[in-house]
């Protein structure tokens, strides 16, 4: 019984994953330029509702963050690192 209780506690501690962001639903359009929050010289452009062009490749926002080589975390929330109008995409989605 003690093992079952510990297993339940672990499940409760996991954070809920945010839904995938839809770039068009938050007001962005094909071709809009996004800036990387750690270095504004690093940019990508909106390709579809959930992908961007980055360094010649079509990628998700998270894949693009990883390709910068700057963020070393294992779990990355891509929209947190890309800015549009000086706001992160997470901020824009909350507005």
Structure tokens at 79: 């929209």
Helix (H, G, I), strand (E, B) or coil at 3: helix
| 51, 60 Cβ separation under 8 angstroms | yes
Which is nearest to 64 in space by CA: 28, 39, 91, 29?
A: 39
pLDDT in tens, 30-39: 999 999 999 9
Radius of gyration (C-alpha) of the chain in whole angstroms: 16
Below-70 pLDDT ranges, the chain: 1-18
Its pTM surpasses 0.75? yes
pLDDT of residue 81: 96
> What is the spatial distance between Cα 95 and Cα 90, in angstroms, rounded to a whole number?
9
């Amino acid at each position: 019984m003690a093992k079952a209780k510990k297993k339940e506690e672990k499940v409760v501690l996991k954070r809920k994953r945010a839904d995938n962001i839809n770039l068009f639903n938050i007001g962005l359009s094909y071709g809009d330029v996004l800036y990387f929050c750690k270095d504004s010289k690093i940019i990508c452009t909106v390709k579809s509702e959930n992908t961007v062009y980055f360094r010649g490749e079509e990628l998700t926002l998270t894949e693009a963050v990883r390709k910068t080589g700057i963020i070393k975390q294992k779990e990355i929330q891509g929209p947190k690192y890309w800015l549009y109008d000086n706001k992160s995409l997470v901020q824009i989605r909350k507005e």
